[in-house]
Chain A
Amino acid sequence: MSDNQPLSVEQRNKRTLKKLVIWAIGMFAFAFLMVPFYNVICDITGLNGKTSSTAATDAPAQVVEDRTVTVEFITQKGDGITGEFTSETKRVKVHPGEITLVNFYASNPTDSDMVTQSIPSVTPGVAARYLHKTQCFCFDQQTLAAGERKDMPMIFYLDPEIPSHINQFTLSYTIFDVTERVAGKNNSVAVN
Chain B
Amino acid sequence: MSTAAATHDDHHDHHHAPTGLKRWLFSTNHKDIGTLYLWFSFAMFLVGGFMAMVIRAELLEPGMQFVDPEFFNQMTTVHGLVMVFGAVMPATVGLANWMIPLMIGAPDMALPRMNNWSFWILPFAFGILIFAVLMSAFGAGNPSAPNFGWTFYAPLSTKYGPASTDLFILSVHMMGISSIMGAINVVVTVFNMRAPGMTLMKMPLFVWTWLITAFLLIAVIPVLAGAVTMMLTDRHFGTSFFDAAGGGDPVLFQHVFWFFGHPEVYIMILPSFGIVSAIIPAFARKPLFGYASMVYATASIALLSFVVWAHHMFTVGMPLAGTLFFMYMTMLISVPTGVKVFNWVATMWRGSMTFELPMKWAIAFVILFTCGGLSGLMLAMTPIDFQYHDTYFVVAHFHYVLVTGAIFSIFAAAYYWLPKWSGVMPSKLLGELHFWNSLISANLLFFPMHFVGLAGMPRRYADYALQFADYNFWISIGGFWFGLSQVIFLVVAVRCAMKKGEPAPAKPWEGAEGLEWEVPSPAPFHTFDTPPVIK
Where the two chains meet, the residues of A that have a C-beta atom closer than 8 Å to any C-beta of B are 8-10, 12-13, 16-17, 20-21, 23-32, 34-35, 38, 42, 45-50, 78-79, 117, 119, 123-126, 174, 176, 178, 181, 184-185, 187, 189-192
Contact = CB atoms under 8 A, between A and B. Distances in A.
A94 B135 CA distance: 57
Given A181-B245, A189-B246, A125 B188 contact: no
B212 interface: no
B3 A176 contact: no
A137 B317 CA distance: 25
A13 B188 contact: yes
A187 B219 CA distance: 34
B106 to A, nearest CB: 9
A10 B192 CA distance: 9
Contact of B256 (A31, A78, A126, A192): A31
Interface string B74-96: 00000000000000000000000
Given A27-B222, A119-B245, A190-B240, A47 B256 contact: no
A190 B222 contact: no
Contact of B244 (A35, A119, A124): A119
B245 A176 contact: yes
Given A16-B191, A34-B255, A181-B238, A25 B222 contact: yes
B240 A20 contact: no
Given A23-B219, A27-B222, A35-B241, 15 more contacts: A9-B4, A9-B192, A12-B191, A24-B218, A34-B252, A35-B252, A38-B255, A46-B319, A48-B252, A50-B249, A125-B318, A126-B319, A174-B245, A190-B247, A191-B247
B223 interface: yes
B418 interface: no
A119 B243 CA distance: 11
A124 B316 CA distance: 10
B103 interface: no
B245 A78 contact: yes
Interface of B: 1-4, 7, 110-111, 159, 180, 184, 187-188, 191-193, 218-227, 229-230, 238, 240-241, 244-249, 251-252, 255-256, 259, 317-320, 322
A34 to B, nearest CB: 6
B423 to A, nearest CB: 30
B317 A31 contact: no
Nearest to A125: B317
Contacts of A25: 222
A128 to B, nearest CB: 10
A17 B111 contact: yes
17 contacts: A9-B193, A13-B193, A16-B191, A17-B110, A28-B222, A28-B223, A28-B225, A31-B259, A34-B223, A34-B252, A34-B255, A50-B249, A119-B245, A123-B317, A125-B317, A125-B318, A187-B238
A27 B219 contact: yes
Given A9-B192, A34-B259, A35-B252, A79 B225 contact: no
Contacts of B220: 27
Contacts of B224: 31
Contact of A13 (B192, B241, B248, B319): B192
B188 A17 contact: yes
Given A10-B3, A38-B252, A124 B245 contact: no
A145 B219 CA distance: 50
B183 to A, nearest CB: 8
B2 A8 contact: yes
Contacts of A17: 110-111, 184, 188
A149 to B, nearest CB: 22
Nearest to A119: B244
Nearest to A33: B226
A110 B219 CA distance: 50
Contact of B222 (A30, A48, A78): A30
Contacts of B238: 181, 184-185, 187
Nearest to A38: B252
Given A8-B4, A45-B319, A47-B318, A20 B184 contact: yes
Interface core residue of B7, B220, B247, B248 (most chain A CB under 10 Å): B247
A192 B247 contact: yes
Given A31-B226, A47-B318, A79 B218 contact: no
Contacts of A9: 1, 4, 110, 192-193
B319 A31 contact: no
A29 to B, nearest CB: 8
A174 B247 CA distance: 12
B218 A27 contact: yes
A46 B319 CA distance: 8
A17 B224 CA distance: 21
Contacts of A78: 244-245
Contacts of A117: 245-246
A107 to B, nearest CB: 19
Contacts of A10: 3-4, 7
B246 A181 contact: yes
A164 B171 CA distance: 51
A181 B221 CA distance: 32
Contacts of A176: 244-245
Nearest to B3: A10
B222 A8 contact: no
Nearest to A32: B226
Nearest to A49: B317
B249 A48 contact: yes
B319 A38 contact: no
Contacts of A20: 184, 187-188, 218
A118 B516 CA distance: 64
A45 B187 CA distance: 39
Contacts of B7: 10
A47 B249 CA distance: 11
A16 B190 CA distance: 11
B461 to A, nearest CB: 24
B322 A178 contact: no
Nearest to B187: A20
A123 B247 CA distance: 18
B223 A31 contact: yes
